[in-house]
Structure 1
Amino acid sequence: MTHVTAGPRLGIRANLGQFSLLVAVNALVGGVLGQERTVLPLLAEQTFHLSGYTFLLTYVLAFGATKAAANYFAGTWSDRFGRKPVLLAGWLVAIPIPLMLIWAPSWDWIVAANVLLGINQGLTWSTTVIMKIDLAGPGRRGLAMGLNEAAGYLAVAFTAVTTGYLAAHYGLRPAPFLLGVAYVALALGLSGLMVRETREHARLEAARHTSRNDGMDHNPHAELTNRQVFVQTSFREPALSAASQAGMVNNLNDGLAWGLFPILFAAAGLSVARIGVLAAVYPAVWGLSQLVTGPLSDRFGRKPFITAGMLVQAIALALVGSADTFALWMVAAALLGVGTAMVYPTLLAAIGDVAHPAWRARAVGVYRLWRDGGFAIGAVLAGVIADLWGLRSAVWVVAGLTAVSGLVVALRMYETHSRTNCPPTTRTRKEGPGTRARQAVPSVRP
């Protein structure tokens, strides 16, 4: 008789129920974000009569700054207290957000709601990322991140187009934000009653982990300090630091798309419904394409997708800055979605490839600190440039920065993931500039 030892197992298939539940929870995270995507820039102009793009973008700045900080603490707290308590805390913070958006008597309330939104998104999205990496193990991180990010951004797209429809037919408030009330209530129930802790899965992977030969984790049981993790992820480790800057620039241009694209489209005479469609196309293509790009990065490697994706985004932004018709903007939005899909799940998978399981959650938090700090930087940069030289100038400047970021990845980042021609029992990281050869890491397939 065969005895099966109870305990955590690694792999998507082995954890399909919990993994699928976390995909659904992250879709609700995206939905809470998507309730603002179409309506809030229009609310700023039409209800609060704001003048000046910099002031209008204060809500993106508030969101980006607080989300960046929340990402960092989500990583450290997940290691200290567990993943599930951090996830629940993020959903508790979300309760007042849609109500504040509905009843806000002044723009200050909108900014305050976006501070809470940043905390909610940082804690919940970061934690679902960490939990899926825990469950998936090393073999299918690209697929895991593709599914996670696809769920989140498809929900952003669905909610953006739905709120645009509701706003066109029932007004800017309260109808579009009632979706947010439903999302938060459902997410709280699922997270509290059905989601299970995954920290033991990370510990299992750490126990099986083979040390790297570059001095970073020569003792897999030794804990790096938070400062050491920050320095390695931000500056010292070539792949981690290249990923961090690329993530920051990616969200810099996403902040531009969120805050200024609807104003650009409205200035060209597009209706609210058409603006809603354009606001939805970009995250919809982004979300769907990640179902392809994430798994393909498991097969062909991370670096080609990240480099090419940043350059595709730059081309798309240049097209937005030069176009003046709905059809061309549709093409540009779809192209921007494809480029972002090539980058987004692949960057997260690369962090998971390099960071040791003992400090991986903190590395994810540091990466997401830089990445979502891009929202705040983008809000200030795009707002100032738009005020001084116009909307299209802001788009062109961000397009140039995105192209430079892609070149930085091409020059600095080494390949972090093995190709399929490696033996199925081992994975080796390809040696690159500034790195020494790494020992084989056992593969745990789902």
Structure 2
Amino acid sequence: MKLLKTLSPKLQHDLLVLFAAGLLFWSGLAALLPTLPLYIQDAGGTSQDIGIVMGAFAVGLLASRPSLATLADRRGRKIVLLIGIAAVAIAPLGYLLTDSIPLLIAIRAFHGISISAFALAYTALVVDLSPVEHRGELIGYMSLVNPLGLALGPAMGGFLQEWVGYEPMFLAAAALGGLGWICTARIQEPESVHPLDPSSAQPSGQFWQMLGSPRIRIPATVLLLIGLAFGTLSTFVPLFIKEVGVNLNVGLFYTAAAIASFGIRIVAGRASDRYGRGPFITLSLVFYTTAMMLLWQANSAASFLLAGAIQGAGSGTLIPMISALMADRSHANERGKVFGLCMVGFDVGIAIAGPIAGAIATQTGYKNVFGLTAGLAFLSLIVFLTLSSKSLGHSFQFATGRGEDVYAIK
């Protein structure tokens, strides 16, 4: 935390306002995690319906990703932040007004614009403001909004739904988004942080072509596999706990994940500036694999909470480290597109996880679904260890902290 004291007062203020906006964003978004699947079920939805509705989030995310990434590079980060936080404020009101499955699919797709916009622009702006030699550390500190929001939001949403029902819960989530929009509107993006002249930006048609670059392709593949695991977890953990018959408030599962995510981010970012991003990405994938295996065998409140904590440690390491890795591998005027493209893998994973896992769960139950996700997480570890650099040897050395990132821009 000593790093923050070395920054100018204005920069400290801007980062504080940005942090508050991020915290409200993730709290409002995460408030629906333990409750929306149950809401869909109570509306008469089947397991497959629940998977389709929840997966539609990533459809909106994917559809808006190219244009929003380009907008962030051409027009600056703030306008994209405002778009994202507006979606978080509006979507809960849409859920409140209908229990029609087709309409819920459409609203969920609109909701997906939120992460596509806010998370991308938030990370890009943090990197823009970060001293290069302390990039990982500052990303780690500023990314704490994610675990804090994932601790506060689900706990609030779960308890409100249990105590007073769905309507107050949806209204509270919308209110958090509205407060976040007010904070975001106060962010002053320095002129020096704005991208280069719009005419210098790449045409939007080249967005997808960049995905073939080796600096982006393998991180995106890793995130695809983890996105499949995370999409299954975020959609079906509430229903799995209910199926097993464990007496556990689902919000506490996400709280356990958030606490672990918070703790590991404080140390991982700073350490990665010294030891490299590779070993921490590897560690995160080990955490994910272990968490999915524990969920596969979970049959008590303690086992679910332990799995949640380990998954939180994996998530709290992986996303900030991938963000820092992509910052290392990109120029400032392409950063929005590079971040956006890399996260496409995660988006696709979430998009297809719900329908696929829902179809499997209908036939075999939720338990076997988590056995499958354990295999996917382990596959992501193998991919990173063997393909993250220009050769097998370089990949293993980079992934274990014994070699440099050959794709980093000096």
Fold shared, TM-score > 0.5 on shorter chain: yes
Alignment partners' CA distance in 1, 2:246 and 2:155: 15
Give the deviation of 1:180 after TM superposition: 1.4
Alignment partners' CA distance in 2, 1:11 and 1:131: 19
Matches within 5 A, 1:32-181: 32-45=28-41, 47-51=42-46, 53-171=47-165, 173-181=166-174
Alignment partners' CA distance in 2, 1:431 and 1:32: 36
Alignment partners' CA distance in 2, 1:109 and 1:79: 33
Q: Structure 1 residue aligned with 2:295, among 320, 330, 341?
A: 320
Alignment partners' CA distance in 1, 2:130 and 2:327: 11
User: What is the aligned partner in structure 2 of residue 241 from structure 1?
Assistant: 217
SS at match of 1:57: helix
Which amino acid is 1:186 matched to? L
User: What is the aligned partner in structure 2 of residue 377 from structure 1?
Assistant: 352
1:231 counterpart = 2:205: no
Alignment partners' CA distance in 1, 2:119 and 2:12: 19
Q: Sort the Cα spacing of 1:405 and 1:198 in 2 relative to 1 into closer, same or farther, 3 A.
A: farther
Q: Sort the Cα spacing of 1:230 and 1:27 in 2 relative to 1 into closer, same or farther, 3 A.
A: same
User: What is the aligned partner in structure 1 of residue 326 from structure 2?
Assistant: 351
Which amino acid is 1:30 matched to? W
The superposition leaves residues 307-363 of structure 1 with CA deviations (integer Å, 9 ceiling, x where unpaired) of 221122111101101121111111111111112222110001000001122212211
The superposition leaves residues 32-71 of structure 1 with CA deviations (integer Å, 9 ceiling, x where unpaired) of 21121111111122x21222x2211122211012123333
Matches within 5 A, 1:3-42: 13-14=7-8, 15-42=11-38
Alignment partners' CA distance in 2, 1:385 and 1:149: 34
SS at match of 1:336: helix
Which amino acid is 1:23 matched to? F
Which structure's CA Rg is the greater one? 1
User: What is the aligned partner in structure 1 of residue 381 from structure 2?
Assistant: 406
Alignment partners' CA distance in 1, 2:103 and 2:265: 34
Unaligned runs of 5+ in 2: none
Q: Sort the Cα spacing of 1:161 and 1:111 in 2 relative to 1 into closer, same or farther, 3 A.
A: same
Unaligned runs of 5+ in 1: 1-9, 207-220, 420-428, 442-446
Alignment partners' CA distance in 2, 1:393 and 1:191: 42
Alignment partners' CA distance in 2, 1:139 and 1:43: 46
Which structure is higher in helix share?
2
Give the deviation of 1:90 after TM superposition: 2.6
Alignment partners' CA distance in 2, 1:377 and 1:199: 40
Is 1:29–1:121's contact at 8 Å kept on the other side of the alignment?
Answer: no
SS at match of 1:36: coil
Alignment partners' CA distance in 2, 1:96 and 1:13: 35
Q: CA RMSD in A?
A: 2.7
Give the deviation of 1:202 after TM superposition: 5.8
Alignment partners' CA distance in 1, 2:362 and 2:119: 32
Q: Sort the Cα spacing of 1:391 and 1:367 in 2 relative to 1 into closer, same or farther, 3 A.
A: same
Q: Sort the Cα spacing of 1:369 and 1:132 in 2 relative to 1 into closer, same or farther, 3 A.
A: same
Give the deviation of 1:30 after TM superposition: 0.6
Alignment partners' CA distance in 1, 2:208 and 2:190: 23
Identity of aligned residues (%): 22
1:362 counterpart = 2:362: no
Q: Sort the Cα spacing of 1:300 and 1:113 in 2 relative to 1 into closer, same or farther, 3 A.
A: same
Matches within 5 A, 1:285-300: 285-300=260-275
SS at match of 1:96: helix
Alignment partners' CA distance in 1, 2:158 and 2:95: 15
Q: Sort the Cα spacing of 1:331 and 1:347 in 2 relative to 1 into closer, same or farther, 3 A.
A: same
Q: Sort the Cα spacing of 1:18 and 1:153 in 2 relative to 1 into closer, same or farther, 3 A.
A: same
